[in-house]
Copies of this chain bind each other. A is one copy, B any other.
Amino acid sequence: MAERRRGAALEKALLDAAWEELSAQGYARFTMDAVVKRAGTSPSVLYRRWSDRDELAQATIAHRLRELILDIPDTGSLREDVLTLMREINATRAELIPTMFAQLAAHYQATGTRPSDLTDPTATGRKEATDVIFDRAVERGEVNPEHLTERIKSLPFDLLRHEILATFAPAADRTLQEIVDTIFLPLVTPGPGVIFARPHGGWTGAMRPAGP
Contact = CB atoms under 8 A, between A and B. Distances in A.
A151 interface: yes
A162 B158 contact: yes
Q: Give the interface centre of A175, A186, A202 by most chain B CB atoms within 10 Å.
A: A186
30 contacts: A25-B109, A26-B110, A27-B109, A28-B105, A28-B106, A29-B109, A98-B108, A98-B109, A99-B105, A99-B109, A105-B168, A151-B179, A152-B183, A155-B159, A155-B183, A158-B159, A158-B162, A158-B166, A159-B159, A159-B162, A161-B162, A166-B201, A174-B196, A175-B198, A181-B194, A182-B193, A182-B196, A183-B183, A186-B186, A186-B187
Q: Which of A178, A179, A201 has the most CB of B within 10 A?
A: A178
A38 interface: no
Given A25-B109, A26-B110, A178-B196, 4 more contacts: A29-B110, A174-B196, A178-B198, A181-B194
Interface of A (DSSP majority class): helix
Interface of A: 25-29, 98-99, 101-102, 104-106, 108-110, 114, 149, 151-152, 155, 158-159, 161-162, 165-166, 168, 174-175, 178-179, 181-183, 186-187, 190-191, 193-196, 198, 201-203
B101 A105 contact: yes
